[in-house]
Amino acid sequence: MAIQLKTKEKKTDEYRQLKTKLFFHTLLLIIGAAVIIWAIYSFFLSGRFADWVVSFFENGLHMEPKAALSLYQQSIRNYMEWFIYIPVVVVFFVLFAFYLNQFTKYFYEISKGIDKLTEENTSEIALSPELSATEKKLNTVRQALEKRKMDAILAEQRKNDVVVYLAHDLKTPLTSVIGYLTLLHDETQISEELKEKYLSISLDKAERLEDLINEFFEITRFNLSNIILELSSVSLARMLEQIVYEFKPMLAEKNLKCTLNCSSDIMIKCDANKMQRVFDNLLRNAVNYSFEDSKIDIMVTQGDKDLKISFINQGNTISEEKLDKIFEQFYRLDNARATQSGGAGLGLAIAKEIIESHGGTITAQSENERIIFIVDLPQS
């Protein structure tokens, strides 16, 4: 708030300086015009002008002094106001044109600056010192447009990558299903044991294919529609206990131990189904990226206004660069996209969508072979 006030005050000072400069320019032009007009008026009404005209008639036209004076009185003196008005009008338009040029040069500079916004040139837009506030705004807009352009390029690249990843992720289990079903179809003499094995593998691959398709439909649904929450008050401890219990087979495969530290009296107001999806994704992620024979800790800390749920596991340290991208759609930590345990890179993206729809935040930390995901939810 303080920074915004300082920025606003600075811009006000810059506009005030511009108005002051324009005011003094106008004042100087008015004074200059008044002095020139007064000089013209004084010159035409002075005796020196009459002497100069009479002398011109006498010497230039070779007239007698009396005839020259009579011609001056008849042709010039009687129309003296025109000899004053015409120079005054000329001077006025010259000064007005000069003033208009001084005033409109700022608009011309701004117009050139706006034109540069559409150019490929990435150099900074430079305006007069009086227009420093406008210069900063134009440069800010230029940087924003450049960022949007880069974001659009990255989004297009990401879309192309997603198509490639989708084709790969779907093709792998689909190829296996087709392969094993083909064997069952072509092999007439096959033992019941082998048939059972092929059917089991085909079923696993088909279920894997279904999971991938469901994930892609899920992220599309979250992106294309507003998340409608069906809020209710639920026991956080009971929800987490149920999830940990359901993960027992997965934990046993890697000999993992999962401990839950949560007070039994903590109640949260949330969409139970969607929040369960978040905790399911976080625990699944912890299992997939944990060392074998290690431990996963789920810790709940209750503050005055918020509730922190931390999922802590022991695994390879995640770099800062990867941590910044970990909640992006279709991003996965491992490069082995065909791994059985790795998903399509949507679980954490979906979790982030759900947590933010509840007014909370989710962050990730990693150091010394520890990975920590922290869900911060407001307490009503």
In percent, the amount of the chain with pLDDT more than 90 equals 18
- CB contact set of 361 (below 8 Å; sequence gap of 6+): 355, 375, 376
pTM of the model: 0.51
Residue 347 has pLDDT above 80, yes or no: no
User: Who wins on pLDDT, 7 or 36?
Assistant: 36
In this structure, are residues 347 and 211 in contact, taking their beta carbons and an 8 Å threshold?
no
Highest mean pLDDT among 106-110, 204-208, 265-269: 265-269
Q: How far apart are CA 338 and CA 281, in angstroms?
A: 19
Q: Domain residue spans in the chain?
A: 2-119, 156-224, 232-378
DSSP-derived 3-state class of residue 160: helix
Highest mean pLDDT among 7-11, 99-103, 171-175: 171-175
Structure confidence at residue 282 (pLDDT) = 92
Structure confidence at residue 256 (pLDDT) = 93
Residue 341 has pLDDT above 50, yes or no: no
In this structure, are residues 110 and 125 in contact, taking their beta carbons and an 8 Å threshold?
no
Q: Tell me which residue of 268, 272, 276, 263 sits closest to 306, measured CA to CA.
A: 268
* DSSP per position, 288-336: HTSPTT-EEEEEEEE-SSEEEEEEEEE-SPPPHHHHHHTTSTT--SSS-
Other C-beta atoms closer than 10 Å to the C-beta of 174 total 15
What average pLDDT does this structure show over 16-40? 72
Q: How far apart are CA 35 and CA 29, in angstroms?
A: 10
Q: Mean pLDDT, the chain, as a whole number?
A: 76
CATH topology of domain 232-378: Heat Shock Protein 90 (3.30.565)
CATH number of the domain located at residue range(s) 156-224 in this protein:
1.10.287.130
Give residue-wise pLDDT tens across range 265-304: 899 999 888 898 899 889 988 998 899 999 999 999 988 8
User: Who wins on pLDDT, 330 or 3?
Assistant: 330
Tokens 């406008």 -> residue: 134
Helix, strand, coil tally for the chain in percent (to 5) = 65, 10, 20
Counting DSSP H helices and E strands in the chain, the numbers are 11, 7
In this structure, are residues 333 and 289 in contact, taking their beta carbons and an 8 Å threshold?
yes
Residue 241 has pLDDT above 90, yes or no: yes
User: Who wins on pLDDT, 299 or 141?
Assistant: 299
